[in-house]
Amino acid sequence: MIYSRISGTGSYLPEKILTNADLEKMVDTSDQWIVERTGIRSRHLAAEEQDTCDLAEMAARRALDAAGVEASELDLIIIGTTTPDRVFPSTACLLQARLGNHGAMAFDIQAVCSGFIYALSIADQFIKAGTFKRALVLGADSFSRLVDWTDRNTCVLFGDGAGAVVLEASSEPGILSSHLHADGAYKDLLTVPAKIAQGRLHNDGFTKMQGNEVFKFAVKVLSDVVKEALAANELEGSTLDWLVPHQANLRIIKATAKKLNLPMERVVLTVSEHGNTSAASIPLALDVAVRDGRIQRGHTLLLEGVGGGFTWGAVVLKF
């Protein structure tokens, strides 16, 4: 049987850091208010001259180096992103050109904060089917560009960054299962309502969120998809080595860990320093834990996330 297995991880965070103390000078908020409700203390922001592809390139090169893979050897490049550099071509094609790859299948996927989970699952299917042998999968977002910095309910949440993994065909177990869902009936709870027509942006181009409703929905669907993923693999939550969740809100993460009967010591947390980096948050957290030695070969991981759409999903894998 062919499996797809992660052979390398990489990530990148922009140099500029915006702390809660900085936000106190910009909007009517406080460090205490932000931390109590979200767990976030700081976030990284892309420089004015940095595009999403710039962030993705740094993460991609680090993942390729970790895997010992040349860009020319890639068969597939997928980027989960909500903030592409252009309407078209895709940011994946822009990255492909930067890396010097010619001929690999390359495309973006838009599932907001679930983008990396969606992208990872798609790449897994191509590899398991025998179509491709090596894939570069990324989550990359410059989400701060969709933030109204006068709206204290949303501007405290988001940051920028990119994370990447190299997936390779293997006879050893890697990705064990993936579980993806969406429900567009909740489209207005978390959205950027703008559209492009006649070369211009029409309607509001900033993120709109009904925070309480998003929180309740996220806790419910993450609980459901986690149970689904565990049942599919005949696992108990307590037997997982690590939970690597979407880093949106510490309260949501704690609620998910409680449902799994998993101590917080086995949950990878970066939300305090990164904020919500949308599609980048899961691969960012994964790379942090791999590089500091917490996640080791043979560990069983559960990755999960939820994003606007609503979209949500989970992946169970052997690292």
Q: How far is CA 8 from CA 96, 141, 144, 222, 290, in A?
A: 18, 20, 27, 27, 9
* Ramachandran assignment for 84, one of left (phi > 0), alpha (psi -120 to 50 degrees), beta (any other): beta
CA distance 217 to 182: 12
Of 118, 112, 50, 111, residue with least CA distance to 85: 50
Active-site option among 113, 155, 179, 249: 113
Active-site option among 155, 246, 249, 274: 246
CA distance 142 to 80: 12
155 catalytic? Reply is no
20 catalytic? Reply is no
CA distance 313 to 195: 26
181 catalytic? Reply is no
Residues with Cβ < 8 Å from 231, sequence gap 6 or more?
none
CA distance 180 to 116: 11
The Cβ of residue 56 has, within 10 Å, a number of other Cβ atoms equal to 32
Tell me the torsion sign for CA atoms 84, 207, 184, 253: positive
At which residue do the structure tokens 């390779």 appear? 168
Any idea which residues carry the catalytic annotation? Answer: 113, 246, 276
